[in-house]
Amino acid sequence: MTETAWDWDVLVQYAGHQGLGWLLLAVVLLSLILLRAAPAARPTLFNTLLLFAVSLAGLLFSALLFASGLDAAAAALRELFLLIEGMAAIRLAGLALFRWLLPLLRLAPPRILEDMAVIAAYLVWAMVRLRYAGLDLSGIVATSAVITAVLAFSMQDTLGNILGGIALQLDDSLQVGDWIKVDDVTGKVVDIRWRSTSVETRNWETVVIPNSQLMKSKFVVLGRRQGQPEQWRRWVWFNISYGIPPARVIDVVERALRNTAIPNVARQPLPNCVMMDFSDSAARYAVRYWLTDLAVDDPTDSAVRQHIYAALQRAGIEPCIPEQYVHVEKESAKHEELRHAREMQQRLAFLRQVELFRALTEDELRLVAERLKYTPFVRGDVITQQGAVAHWLYILTEGEAEVVLEAGGGQRPLGVIDATQGPGFFGEMGLMTGEPRTATVIARSDVVCYRLDKASFESIIQSRPALAEEISHVMASRRGGLDSARQALDTQAQTMHTAQRESEMLRKIRRFFHLDQA
């Protein structure tokens, strides 16, 4: 009985070592902290704990060999598994330091520093174990030059990657979060390790690039400029016929883009349009804008193209199709007549619902329908700007637009024009009196508008001046609603001013269309 107990004590003593209990406690505590505080490190943590468990099992196995009388084998295995145990403890300590403690202190060292620190600790621990194993380290130092040369030759690629990673970190030429282009790979740097740099592309691919390749070849860091925010200049190309003056094209496009807040398009520098080339069949233009979120380049390009297309359509400018793709379609006069008739019926249908035109006859409505100009807008476009002078009316038939009042350096919503409730109209003051716009109207979605100019409506009101009085009633009522929203007039005050407003509206309309001289 006594001999069995003595054997068991020897077994435990051989398998363990001084400080094992404290080491186990530290491993448990650090593991619990990392599980909670560093979820991203869990795979590495589990592998480290598995290695630690293997080392403990190996130490127990070496003790069994020792108890069986195999002293030499037991000693060799014991040193091996003590080395593994120490490496697992070092890796766990590195995780705790770099993934928990330093982030807790608001420090974010590069990942390569963690790798190099852990590797250096591995080497120190290996030297310590070799010394405890009875190896004379002075002999190793004496032959270190030969060993170093052999290792350097056999591991030159690995050493190149390690030194490359260190150089990239030290000279700050590359950082985690940068967007880079290397050969045909474009993506975001998500990790820089001792051997390689990981880049995630927009196609949900992770490309692993050896650090030595980054040091030897050229790579482009996108969107980075010293002292400037991260933004990347993009180009959007389009063709316009030579019959349209370039200055007009540039003005139309730049006005549309600069007056619209397009998501992920920088306000500084402003987007600009330039004429780039003379092609065989058209002038070649490009819009240059600065992208603020490099992950959404294609969707933002698409949004910019939509605004360009809508602005050109509003201005009556058609994009030019290359000659080799021109498609000629012959329509009979009857087919064209039917198409035009359908279009006029649609326009008459919504004109009859517009309160401003309720006093017009069918012939007058038809004349207005013929003179309407198709004017589309894209979500975010400023349709009318408060304070601007424009002698035309907009009729909104599809989509939504928001009416806002600009005051005190900000915007206050006044209402929404929703075409699903019937066609809406705005800008009647500019059409009928020539006054500046009293509010700003912004497209909340892609909208379809028709525009009626003063010149198109002038002949109708000149031929029947009595229309001015009918229209002034509608305008006075709508202006009263706007004034009420702007000034919070009470009902009594609004009623007192209604007659005065109607008289003032009628006077302005008659003066604007020269009816007093007719």
Do 160 and 215 touch, CB atoms closer than 8 A?
Answer: yes
Residue 193 in any domain: the answer is yes
Per-residue pLDDT of the chain (518 residues; tens, 9 = 90+): 344 444 555 556 666 666 777 888 888 898 888 888 888 788 888 888 888 888 888 878 887 777 777 777 777 787 787 888 888 888 888 888 888 888 888 887 777 777 778 888 888 888 887 777 666 655 555 555 555 555 555 555 565 666 666 666 655 678 888 898 988 899 999 888 777 888 999 888 999 988 878 877 888 889 888 778 889 999 999 999 888 889 899 999 999 999 888 999 999 999 999 999 988 888 999 999 999 999 999 999 999 999 999 999 999 898 887 655 555 555 667 777 888 888 899 999 999 998 888 888 898 899 999 999 998 898 888 999 988 888 889 999 999 999 998 877 778 888 899 988 889 888 888 888 888 888 899 999 889 999 999 888 888 888 888 888 888 888 888 777 776 666 653 444 455 556 677 777 778 877 877 776 65
* Rounded Cα gap, residues 313 and 114, in angstroms: 58
Contact 72, 65 (CB under 8 A): no
Tokens for 181?
């282009």
188/258 same-domain check:
no
Residue 237 covered by a domain: yes
Q: What share of the chain is helix, strand, coil (3-state, %, to 5)?
A: 55, 20, 25
What does the pLDDT read at residue 401? 93
Q: Which helix (H) or strand (E) holds 410?
A: strand 410-418
Whether residue 275 sits in one domain with residue 196:
no
Residue 214: inside a domain: yes
User: Does residue 157 fall inside a structural domain?
Assistant: no
Does residue 21 lie within any of the structural domains? yes
Tell me the C-alpha distance between 301 and 292, whole Å: 12
According to DSSP, the residues that pair with 394 across neighbouring strands are: 426, 451
Asked whether residue 365 falls in the same domain as residue 252, the answer is no
Residue showing tokens 């030595």: 212
Q: Are residues 358 and 494 in the same domain?
A: yes
In a domain, 330, yes or no: no
Residues 308 and 386 placed together within one structural domain of the fold: no
HSE, CB side, 13 Å, CA atoms: give it for residue 416: 10
Residue 269's domain is classified under what CATH number? 3.30.70.100
Which 8-state DSSP code applies to residue 228? S
Cα-based torsion angle of the residue sequence 215, 217, 222, 228 in order, rounded to the nearest 10 degrees: 50
Taking each helix axis from N to C terminus, what angle separates 454-463 and 362-371, rounded to the nearest 10 degrees? Answer: 160
Q: What pTM was computed for the model? A: 0.60
pLDDT at 250: 93
pLDDT of residue 13: 61
**Token output for 133:** 């194993």
Instruction: Specify whether 137 is located in the same domain as 200.
Output: no
Claim to verify: residue 398 and residue 311 sit in the same structural domain? no
CATH number of the domain encompassing residue 180: 2.30.30.60
Q: How many CA atoms lie within 13 A of 138 on its CB side?
A: 0
- Looking at the fold, whether 199 and 87 belong to one and the same domain comes out as no
State which of 95, 124, 142 marks the end of a domain.
Answer: 142
Q: Are 290 and 269 in contact (CB under 8 A)?
A: yes
Q: How many domains does the chain have?
A: 4
Reported as type and span, the H/E element at residue 148 is helix 144-154
**215 and 90 share one domain:** no
Same domain, 123 and 61: yes
Tokens of 207: 């490309």
Domain that holds residue 257: 232-322
Instruction: Write the pLDDT tens digit of every residue in 175-218.
Output: 888 898 988 899 999 888 777 888 999 888 999 988 878 877 88
Q: Which of 222, 253, 288 is the last residue of a domain?
A: 222
Judgement on whether residues 385 and 495 belong to the same structural domain of the protein: yes
273 close to 245: Cβ distance less than 8 angstroms:
no
**C-alpha dihedral, 128 to 132 to 138 to 142, nearest 10°:** -70
CB 434 within 8 A of CB 512: yes
3-class DSSP assignment, residue 201 = strand
**Contact call for residues 427 and 384 (beta carbons, < 8 A):** yes
Is residue 155 situated within a structural domain? no
Burial class (CB in 10 A: 0-12, 13-18, 19+), 332: exposed
The answer to the question of residue 298 being in a domain is yes
Token pair of 459, please? Answer: 């002949």
Alpha carbon separation from 197 to 100, 190, 323 (Å, rounded)? 23, 8, 47
Residue that finishes a domain, picked among 124, 142, 160: 142
Q: What does DSSP assign to residue 97?
A: I
364 and 455 co-located in one domain: yes
Tokens (6 digits) for 191: 């990790």
CATH code (residue 500): 2.60.120.10
Give SS3 for 495.
Answer: helix
Q: Give CA–CA dist 448/346, Å, rounded.
A: 13
Residues 6+ apart with CB under 8 A from 319: 238, 239, 240, 309, 312
Evaluate whether 193 touches 116 at the Cβ level (below 8 Å): no
